[in-house]
Chains A and B, each alone.
Chain A
């Protein structure tokens, strides 16, 4: 699916979408505009359904009934809640920084949508004499764009907490940014493994290199480790349970968005769920072959098959996220940092070396793997010895709560 179509260089910087293969004309622009609107609409509808699904599933897992008042099976509950939220008074705390306070929700929500724009949700389609990919944008630097957007998303939370002029939001924001920055390292390292094997930074290239067999999917090709690291890091990146310290309802009231009301609050809520969907879609793209899957030939509806595969895979991750929330208690702050810095980063770094070794040759790969196993065995022992000595000498651990 990699596009080797000649393009004007300026456009190629932004997108490698074949719709611009013959230059920019009105139809091509219209197609792109329609794609943007469709993607945005799709994401919004998915968010509405996701919120409903999460509430319904979590109540199923907790032996409750969940929303069942608005619409059939409570399907319209999100709409009802959203309408109520929009009708509420828009409060601005007295000590808030006016401009930043209003800017922050957009900084959170817009990157969440932009991440989704680079996800291929199906193969190429032909429309009005043009060929276009079923993704809004396919920048040659797709993966870098993804990492950049997840980095910008942190600003939304950070600035929201800071601009609120209140202590709980500030604490939540500090937690959120520290957590997201720490986990971004592990996240990036596991993405590097993907890029290393596929040799492409575009999402369409990554998806293309994973076709056509299940055995070729990155989750298997890379060994399951980068995927697991990515899954954990992405969960932390999303501030979803069990890494939802930034919200920490029981200790921080609501975290960075404590002071927010009405429309601006709904932006944060939207951002949170858009991110959940976007990152699930990204995981499908990076590790599970995107829209790739066995295609049964049905006339006319053939192009829907990849979309269906993509939807099913993404849904599986959404289910998993809700399941995480039901099954796992929230991490303590030091546990979170321990997991990120002491386990995920070394593991993903080591695994990256092993993957790189196998890229060179089987022998080098095997040797790297052996070395990695050796280090993995020796390192915990070294930690234990060091810790024992530290305690013998009457040393004190750092304040676990205050960090």
Chain B
């Protein structure tokens, strides 16, 4: 610890001026979301257009925030809504209560409810916070509906019907290289995720090298290095 050590801070801070930025200019551009992202829910349908929900209320039962309200009803014999005996007659999620824990998704026996990657839905009316079945159910092409106050960006509406077990199956702590995603409409099953073993230390902890790598993906006008 010499007297000149106090000056090292000046060198470090000065050097930073010429380093690339990795700040994302959020509203202008968005970073890709992680595959397991928990956004707002969607109610999925089969390829023939039938709804997957059978009105069993397991999701409502498991919900710790008590934000789901479901009422099941018998399928009308001439125009069945779902392939089984019953269907979700009323389905409402209150997003002022939902904590996006994904337990409803795990509880669902038919994979009817999954979470999309949309989290930017700033409704300005408390009534808009309650999403009804008409709003939650996916369109005919399997993609989520867009409500007026929702900010969907390109790619956000992809891969929304799959779900992944949040906890490891009993006895198997190591999930590396295993397929845990349910099959998805139009996408099939996703590739197993890479684990953390054998990870290069430089990659595992944030460092200047990693920052440079990240900066290479960010356009110059936002402070990065990608041209």
CB–CB B19/A327 < 8 A: no
Segment touching B, from A61-69, A77-85, A123-131, A387-395:
A61-69
Complex interface: chain A residues within 8 A of B16 (CB): 60-63
Contact of A323 among B14, B21, B22, B222 (CB under 8 A): B14
Using Cβ atoms and an 8 Å threshold, which residues of chain A touch B173?
none
Contact A327–B10 (Cβ < 8 Å): yes
Residues of B near A64 (CB, < 8 A) are: 21, 23
Check if A328 sits within 8 Å of B9, measured CB to CB: yes
Across-interface contacts of A57 in B (CB, < 8 A): 17
Q: Does B12 contact A (CB under 8 A)?
A: yes
Q: Is A326 an interface residue (CB 8 A)?
A: yes
Residue from A60, A61, A63, A65 whose CB has the most chain B CB atoms within 10 Å = A63
Indicate whether B196 reaches chain A with its CB closer than 8 angstroms. no
Quick one: which of B14-39 are within 8 Å of A by CB? 14, 16-17, 19, 21-23, 25
Cross-chain contact A61 with B223 (CB below 8 angstroms)? no
With beta carbons under 8 angstroms apart, the residue of B12, B14, B21 that contacts A65 is B21
Contacts of B9 in A (CB 8 A): 327-328
Number of interface residues of B (CB under 8 A): 15
Of residues 58 to 73 in B, which have CB atoms within 8 Å of A's CB atoms? none
If A63-B21, A64-B21, A65-B21 touch, whether A327 touches B223 (CB-CB below 8 Å) is: no
Are B10's CB and A60's CB within 8 A? no
CA of A68 to CA of B26, assembled, Å: 12
> When chains A and B are docked, how far (Å) is the Cα of A327 from the Cα of B5?
12
Which of B6, B13, B25 contacts A61, CB < 8 Å? B13
> Are B12 and A327 closer than 8 Å at their CB atoms?
yes
Contact: B13 with A65, CB < 8 Å? no
| Interchain CA distance A323-B16 in the complex, whole Å | 11
CA distance A64 to B10 in the complex (A): 17
A323 and B14 CA atoms in complex are apart in Å by 8
Q: Are B10 and A323 neighbours in the complex by a CB distance under 8 Å?
A: yes
B10 and A63 form a contact (CB under 8 A): no
Asked if A63 contacts B19 (CB within 8 A), the reply is: yes
Chain A CB within 10 A, most for which of B10, B12, B22: B10
Q: What CA separation (Å) do A61 and B12 show in the bound complex?
A: 8
Distance in angstroms between the alpha carbons of A63 and B20 in the assembled complex: 8
Distance of B209 from chain A, by nearest CB (Å)? 14
Asked whether, in the complex, the Cβ of A61 is within 8 Å of the Cβ of B14, the reply is yes
Q: How far is B14's CA from A148's CA once the two chains are assembled, in angstroms?
A: 36
The CA-CA distance from A115 to B222 in the complex, in Å, is 40
Q: How far is the CA of A63 from the CA of B10 in the complex (A)?
A: 14
* Chain A, residue nearest B17 (CB): A60
Among residues of A, the one whose C-beta sits closest to the C-beta of B211 is: A63
A77 to chain B, nearest CB (A): 15
Output the residue of B12, B16, B222 with the most chain A CB within 10 A.
B16
List residues 302-329 of chain A with CB under 8 A from any CB of chain B.
323, 326-328
Cα(A326)–Cα(B14), bound, Å: 9
Chain B contacts for A61, CB-based, 8 A: 13-14, 16-17
Residue pair B13, A327 in contact (C-beta under 8 Å): yes
Question: Are B223 and A65 touching (Cβ within 8 A)?
Answer: yes
* In contact, B13 and A323 (Cβ under 8 angstroms): yes
List residues of chain A with CB within 8 A of the CB of B222: 65
Give min CB distance, A64 to chain B, whole Å.
6
A328: chain B residues within 8 A (beta carbon):
6, 9
Instruction: Provide the residues of chain B in CB contact with A327, threshold 8 Å.
Output: 9-10, 12-13
Alpha-carbon gap, A63 to B23, bound state (A): 8
Which residues of chain A are near B25, meaning CB under 8 Å? Answer: 65, 68
How far is it, in angstroms, between the C-alpha of A17 and the C-alpha of B213 when the chains are bound?
60
Complex Cα distance, B22 from A335, in Å, reads 36
| CB of B4, distance to nearest CB on chain A (Å) | 13
Complex interface: chain A residues within 8 A of B21 (CB): 63-65
Contact indicator per residue, chain A 61-99, by CB within 8 Å of chain B (1) or not (0): 111110010000000000000000000000000000000
Complex alpha-carbon distance, A149 and B169, angstroms: 74
Assembled-state Cα–Cα distance A63/B17 (Å) = 7
CA distance A72 to B6 in the complex (A): 36
Q: How far is A140 from B120 in the complex, measured between Cα atoms in Å? A: 66
The 6 closest A-B pairs by CB, nearest first: A327-B9, A326-B13, A61-B13, A60-B17, A327-B10, A327-B13
Q: List 19 A-B contacts (CB under 8 A).
A: A60-B16, A60-B17, A61-B13, A61-B14, A61-B16, A62-B13, A62-B16, A63-B16, A63-B22, A64-B21, A64-B23, A65-B23, A65-B25, A323-B10, A323-B13, A327-B9, A327-B13, A328-B6, A328-B9
